[in-house]
């Protein structure tokens, strides 16, 4: 709608996922805030990912907000590892309880934004034609938001239905009696497989790279466990922040070589049955940093696959050869068992890649397949994808997409040199999904809000980081990654999940305590790595 000039706000928040919601709540206490959200509801990841089997792999008493004691005392999680509907309910409850919706403009994605170097304010434009001017922008756009949909030709020819797992209809989808193709064996494909297998007439799972996965161990939440957590919540939240992954799982200090083969096996069996999705990765202190130690754990996991899957050929095809944990460890309820069903076929899409959609289904280099439904569990243009899809222009005319053409550069994952007053939550080169994201996101929002409030109290109009600070942070990120086995596999962590995508390792894996120490010390050290510019003498008209 036409209006005289841009609407004025102090802060624009992009995205009403869990971090965005908390950013609204925290910032609106002292600021005028508007949030733009692509979806028509809150919840971000848990709004978009409603595919069958979507469920968190961290216990919900941890994977939840800690900023409000009454909220965490009153909210009741039905299960240890909540399914998507429960997480979306929670996001809706928080939005209502804290009256956040009035700040959110739904179905209204930000399309472009430009920083005016004279006024030190962002001009933010949206799909619905909104034009907002604000001093600060907080991009809570999500690390796993932009879907990766392979560009095989012929999609328009296919007479059935094709959908990415983020496009699952809200009302669900009845796959009964359908011939279904599921493409992708990341965490999403692994969760969806057993449930789709139960419904479909036949499921063909196209696997390019096999997945390691642990049994989920999900179950109804034990009231005693819940009461015990609630009695200690404040303390637990603090303890989490001092763990590597912001989660109170067991981190043993012994290494693989400290144990006899019998002890190793006992420890790994306990980890497998631990009901904790990541316990294999931390079963010994050196699983993620010592390839030889990792190989012991990986072989244990492969033997589990061989013991579950009856057909030896299928079992071998399902056995990964890269280090366990190098790609995200899956978390499932009967994934490997699905391959013992008569209506499930594993297709090796590595040796015979998919090349095209056809009128009736899919063509690989060696066969044609007929389907009613094709489901793309093909992941995301992760970490950078959501930001790169917005035309973000800095004061010198450069866009974020141009700046990141060889891979993302940031300082502390929070700011990009050349883009003042723009903060990211869970941005590239933060711990991202290697940390429990709700609590980690809250921490980052608080750090950001503290900076904004401090700068305002000191009359600072503009904060930006420098290429030197970005280089320093890149060194920290690369050094941390080099100590781990992560780069021994292609994944969305290192931008190698999408052909042609450039960028190195995009996650900080030095642990959350080291990350927060770097952030806190930068500010305490007089905004080290940042440049501050005071308010101009005369305010713009």
> In the complex, which residues of this chain contact ligand N01 (CB under 6 A)?
56-57, 144, 150, 183-189, 191, 206, 208-209, 328, 331, 349, 354, 377-380, 433, 492, 497
Instruction: Report the nearest approach of ligand N01 to the CB of residue 64 (Å).
Output: 14
Is the Cβ of residue 31 or residue 208 nearer to ligand N01 in the bound state? 208
Is the Cβ of residue 27 or residue 354 nearer to ligand N01 in the bound state? 354
Is the Cβ of residue 267 or residue 509 nearer to ligand N01 in the bound state? 509
Closest CA to 423 of 395, 396, 450, 403: 450
The answer for residues whose C-beta is within 8 angstroms of residue 290's C-beta and 6 or more apart is: 255, 256
Contact, 120 vs 461, CB < 8 A? yes
Instruction: Report the nearest approach of ligand N01 to the CB of residue 475 (Å).
Output: 25
Whole-angstrom Cα Rg for the chain: 24
Is the Cβ of residue 284 or residue 492 nearer to ligand N01 in the bound state? 492
Count of other CB atoms within 10 angstroms of residue 466: 15
Question: 331 pairs with which residues across the strands?
Answer: 214
Instruction: Report the nearest approach of ligand N01 to the CB of residue 471 (Å).
Output: 27
Closest CA to 184 of 160, 203, 200: 203
233-241 vs 437-457: helix axis angle to the nearest 10? Answer: 80
Is the Cβ of residue 108 or residue 193 nearer to ligand N01 in the bound state? 193
CA distance 165 to 234: 36
Is the Cβ of residue 49 or residue 120 nearer to ligand N01 in the bound state? 49
Instruction: Report the nearest approach of ligand N01 to the CB of residue 141 (Å).
Output: 15
Question: What is the spatial order of strands in the sheet that 354-357 belongs to?
Answer: 354-357, 361-364, 368-370
Is the Cβ of residue 418 or residue 432 nearer to ligand N01 in the bound state? 432
Question: 183 pairs with which residues across the strands?
Answer: 206, 376
Please name the helix (run of DSSP H) or strand (run of DSSP E) that holds residue 464, with its range, or none.
Answer: strand 460-465
Is the Cβ of residue 112 or residue 496 nearer to ligand N01 in the bound state? 496
Instruction: Report the nearest approach of ligand N01 to the CB of residue 83 (Å).
Output: 10
Nearest residue relative to ligand N01 (C-beta): 186
Beta 460-465 vs 530-534: how paired, if at all?
A: antiparallel
CA distance 174 to 216: 24
- Listing DSSP states for 290-304 in one string gives -HHHHHHHHHHHHHH
Instruction: Report the nearest approach of ligand N01 to the CB of residue 179 (Å).
Output: 18
Instruction: Report the nearest approach of ligand N01 to the CB of residue 131 (Å).
Output: 34
Instruction: Report the nearest approach of ligand N01 to the CB of residue 211 (Å).
Output: 7
């Amino acid at each position: 709608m036409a209006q005289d000039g841009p609407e004025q706000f102090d802060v624009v928040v992009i995205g009403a996922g869990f971090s965005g919601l908390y950013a609204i709540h925290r910032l609106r206490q002292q600021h005028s805030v508007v949030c733009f959200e692509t979806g028509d509801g809150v919840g971000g990841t848990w709004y978009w990912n409603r595919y069958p089997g979507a469920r968190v792999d961290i216990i919900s008493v941890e994977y939840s907000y800690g900023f409000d004691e009454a909220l965490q005392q009153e909210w009741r999680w039905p299960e240890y590892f909540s399914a998507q509907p429960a997480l979306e309910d929670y996001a809706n409850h928080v939005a209502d309880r804290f009256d956040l919706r009035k700040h959110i403009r739904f179905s209204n994605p930000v399309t472009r934004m430009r920083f005016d170097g004279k006024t030190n304010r962002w001009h933010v434009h949206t799909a619905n034609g909104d034009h907002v001017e604000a001093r600060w922008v907080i991009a809570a756009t999500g690390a796993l938001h932009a879907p990766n949909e392979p560009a095989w030709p012929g999609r328009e020819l296919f007479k059935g239905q094709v959908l990415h797992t983020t496009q699952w209809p809200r009302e669900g989808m009845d796959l009964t009696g359908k011939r279904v193709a599921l493409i992708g064996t990341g965490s999403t494909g692994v969760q969806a497989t057993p449930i789709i297998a139960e419904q479909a007439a036949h499921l063909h799972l196209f696997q390019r790279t096999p997945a390691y996965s642990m049994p989920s161990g999900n179950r109804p939440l034990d009231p005693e466990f819940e009461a015990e957590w609630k009695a200690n919540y404040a303390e637990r939240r603090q303890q989490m922040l001092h763990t590597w992954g912001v989660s109170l799982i067991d981190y043993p200090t012994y290494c693989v070589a400290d144990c006899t083969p019998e002890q190793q096996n006992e420890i790994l069996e306990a980890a497998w049955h631990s009901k904790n999705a990541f316990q294999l990765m931390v079963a010994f202190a050196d699983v993620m940093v010592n390839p030889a130690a990792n190989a012991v754990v990986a072989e244990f996991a492969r033997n589990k696959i061989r013991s579950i899957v009856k057909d030896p050929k299928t079992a071998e095809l399902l056995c990964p050869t890269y280090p366990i944990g190098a790609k995200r460890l899956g978390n499932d309820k009967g994934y490997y068992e699905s391959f013992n069903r008569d209506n499930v076929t594993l297709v090796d899409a590595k040796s015979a890649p998919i090349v095209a959609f056809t009128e009736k289904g899919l063509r690989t280099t060696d066969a044609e397949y007929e389907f009613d439904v094709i489901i793309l569990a093909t992941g995301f243009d992760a970490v950078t994808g959501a930001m790169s899809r917005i035309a973000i222009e800095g004061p010198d005319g450069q866009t974020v997409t141009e700046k990141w053409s060889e891979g993302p550069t940031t300082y502390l994952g929070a700011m990009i040199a050349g883009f003042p007053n723009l903060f990211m939550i869970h941005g590239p080169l933060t711990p991202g999904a290697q940390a429990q994201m709700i609590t980690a996101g809250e921490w980052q929002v608080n750090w950001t809000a503290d900076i904004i409030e401090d700068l305002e109290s000191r009359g600072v109009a503009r904060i930006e980081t420098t290429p030197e600070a970005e280089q320093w942070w890149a060194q920290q990120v690369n050094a941390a990654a080099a100590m781990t086995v992560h780069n021994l596999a292609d994944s969305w962590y290192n931008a190698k999940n999408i052909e042609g995508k450039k960028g190195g390792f995009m996650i900080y894996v030095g642990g959350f305590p080291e990350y927060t120490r770097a952030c806190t010390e930068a500010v305490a050290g007089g905004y080290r790595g940042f440049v501050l510019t005071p308010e101009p003498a005369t305010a713009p008209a």
